[in-house]
Structure 1
Amino acid sequence: MRIPMDQMRALSQRVFRDTLQAPADIAEVATEVLVDADSRGIHSHGVAALPYYVGKWQQGQIVPRARIELITETSTTAVFAGHQAIGHYASREVMKSAIEKSGKTGVGSAVIRNSTHNGAISAYTIQAARSGMIGIAATSCAPHVAPHGGRLGLHGTNPISYALPRGERDPLVFDFSTGHSAAKMKKQARESGRVPAGRLLDAEGNPTTDPSDLQGGWILPVAGHVGFGFALLVDVLTAALADSPIGQQMPRLSETSGPYDGSFFCLAIDPRAFTGMDRFAGRLETLIGQIESAPAQDPGQPVRWPGKQGWSNRRESLAAGVHFNGTEWQDLLTQLQCLGVNVNFR
């Protein structure tokens, strides 16, 4: 089924404004990030996450009216305290700081500690790209991903994203999790009854394909040592630079007391400080042209540059509404209604 984007925005606003009592500007940013993710086809980080945010607010792990605080800064760096503010707003402000510094010095970077879940982090690298900057971002998460060769959780899925500016055209954007996605594994389990091999350990650290082990078990890193190596880099760029709890010091997602204690890192690079925007854009478009003209293994599946499908999804969403599984949409409305959210749009 297709859900109008205005209806999705209204639903998100009801959660953040009416239920969580967030200020209007914070609710607007959170709504924009969630609905944008849905419009690009990233449903695991769209409005389906609204019940999660309500739950974390009820547990005291999100403070909807909190504002971030600048702790220290230089001409090229900044460190913020999140005070458990809504993560989408916090991350947007932190990237804004990095962009402003990059515009003055060529490179700007910022981190935030004591933050909360911030959705699809490509939202913030796109923010940089729309400002003419190369954007890079990473987020630390609860430690439910085992290290390569290990048996117990050490770090989070620790996503990384980058986005490249293309003037008036849609940015090239890449966003990936260094650990296998629990949401995707749940979907695969619904379809086949099992989790694909090589993605999950049970609570004792044994390989498993049983979807029940998604509760209490441990996720494996993407591509083994590759995902593990990038996950460690994320821990350092986020938690270590922000002086925040790192690795197993962070609480598990199942813990319902104490702060979320997430951290977020972002970097903005101004091409004008290097080769100049025109030359940079020319090189990038040459590369994109080479990607699009690359011989495909399957003629029916042409090679695509990162983000192209997501932008196609967004144009379709703007024209016809966001594609959403009908059962999952009704389940979402039921969950929110049980949490006291008005889901009547008539």
Structure 2
Amino acid sequence: MTTLSLPDARALVAAALTTCGYSATDVETIADHLLDCELRGLSFGGLARALSIAERRRATETPPQPIRIVAQTPVSATVDGGDQVGYLVGMHALELAVAKAHAQGVAVVGARNTWYTGMFSYYLEKAAAAGLAGMIAGSGPAVVAPHGGTEGRFGTNPIAFGFPATPAPVIWDIGTSTVMYGEAKLKARLGEKLASGHAYDAAGAPTLDPAAALEGAFGVWGGHKGSGLALVVQLLGMMSGAAADPSGVADCGFFIVLFDPGVLTDAGDYRRRVAAFAESVRATRPVEGGSPVRVPFDRSVNCRDETLRRGTIDVPEAVVTALRREAAGV
């Protein structure tokens, strides 16, 4: 592992993204998202993701087009991402949704023709800071097998919910696969194995090899219930106009709904009640010998606070070396 200061980590990502053609404004947006993943201990979505972005850019002959709104009403919008990376498209969709939810009390925004949208909790934390509750669901390429199957039919299909509270929002953010796409990509880069029972190769045989899994299928999380949730998330993402089974890393669907609690109740009182309820959950008596009960997003917040205090992150040496090569245009 290589230890990097937080400024050095951001500078390395920025240099690699700049070299592969992103503007200074776009670099700032993408780098902030990737660094937040690292701060929260989610390295598969952190610096290593910049390598995947650069590889995707090089593999695509047609240059990306501007992000544009193709349909909208006072409470809704449909966005064509122009094959831009999802960190940019997701922020565009979020900003539209926040503005509409503040104006109308509710907003529904869908985005298509994008890829790598990142952590949905990243967007919902910003929505919660604006006083809004919401949900985001995302579809993608068929890399996850439904329960009982060994062929990809779903994307990794994350879904997240966020609720404003003080000092930190309550956010639940999960993927509906046993392993996330970014995890498999990072393990393949580092020559590591997947956990048993998480994936199948192209012939349908169980595999620990992440490269074989990327050619085959990941397992679905949560048995038949998780499989049903994955199907629903795929259909929500498709509501943006995204394909059911896009080819390669492309045309992911991004579906966001935001609500202003103030249209139903006193917004300040709601925030206080959310915070109080979260505290009551944390105060639950744990099982004998168990750890204190946590609320979703607690781990992320605590890890981020500790990383910020430390001021450094540990990154696999292979990732740092590859990023330096990208930054140098090698």
Q: TM-score, normalised by structure 1?
A: 0.87
Cα 1:196–1:27 change in 2 (3 A) is closer
Query: Which amino acid in the other structure matches residue 328 of structure 2?
Result: V
Deviation, 1:335, is 1.5
Q: Which residue is equivalent to 2:160?
A: 161
Instruction: Report sequence identity in percent.
Output: 27
Q: Work out the CA distance in 1 between the residues paired with 2:264 and 2:41.
A: 34
- SS of equivalent to 2:79: strand
Deviation, 1:294, is 0.5
Count of residue pairs the alignment pairs up: 328
Equivalent runs, 1:265-344 vs 2, <5 Å: 265-297=255-287, 299=289, 301-325=291-315, 328=316, 330-341=317-328
- Give deviations 1:294-314, integer Å, cap 9, x for gaps: 011254511111111111111
- Give ranges in structure 1 of 5+ residues lacking alignment: 254-259
- SS of equivalent to 2:82: coil
Q: Which residue is equivalent to 1:173?
A: 171
Q: Work out the CA distance in 2 between the residues paired with 1:322 and 1:140.
A: 33
Verify: 1:16 aligned to 2:17, yes or no: yes
Say whether the 8 Å CA contact 1:95–1:266 is kept in structure 2. yes
- Give deviations 1:176-210, integer Å, cap 9, x for gaps: 1101115556889999x864343222222233445
Q: Work out the CA distance in 2 between the residues paired with 1:280 and 1:143.
A: 39
Say whether the 8 Å CA contact 1:221–1:227 is kept in structure 2. yes
Q: Work out the CA distance in 1 between the residues paired with 2:86 and 2:61.
A: 11
Q: Work out the CA distance in 1 between the residues paired with 2:186 and 2:16.
A: 25
Q: Which residue is equivalent to 1:92?
A: 91
Equivalent runs, 1:70-219 vs 2, <5 Å: 70-167=69-166, 169-182=167-180, 184=183, 195-209=194-208, 213-219=212-218
Deviation, 1:261, is 1.4
Cα 1:307–1:261 change in 2 (3 A) is same
Q: Work out the CA distance in 2 between the residues paired with 1:185 and 1:263.
A: 21
Say whether the 8 Å CA contact 2:188–2:211 is kept in structure 1. no
Say whether the 8 Å CA contact 1:2–1:320 is kept in structure 2. no
Say whether the 8 Å CA contact 1:84–1:114 is kept in structure 2. yes
Higher percent of residues as strand:
2
Query: Which amino acid in the other structure matches residue 9 of structure 1?
Result: R
Equivalent runs, 1:22-101 vs 2, <5 Å: 22-60=22-60, 63=63, 66-101=65-100
Q: Work out the CA distance in 1 between the residues paired with 2:196 and 2:291.
A: 26
Say whether the 8 Å CA contact 1:63–1:86 is kept in structure 2. no
Query: Which amino acid in the other structure matches residue 220 of structure 1?
Result: G
- Give deviations 1:126-146, integer Å, cap 9, x for gaps: 121111111311222221101
Q: Which residue is equivalent to 2:248?
A: 252
Deviation, 1:23, is 2.0
Q: Work out the CA distance in 1 between the residues paired with 2:196 and 2:309.
A: 39
Cα 1:181–1:299 change in 2 (3 A) is same
Q: Work out the CA distance in 2 between the residues paired with 1:186 and 1:16.
A: 18
Greater shift in the superposed pair: 302-311 or 278-287: 278-287
Say whether the 8 Å CA contact 1:80–1:112 is kept in structure 2. yes
Query: Which amino acid in the other structure matches residue 11 of structure 2?
Result: A
Query: Which amino acid in the other structure matches residue 48 of structure 2?
Result: A
Cα 1:269–1:3 change in 2 (3 A) is same
Say whether the 8 Å CA contact 2:12–2:327 is kept in structure 1. no
- Give deviations 1:81-132, integer Å, cap 9, x for gaps: 1101121111011011111111112111101111121222211111211111
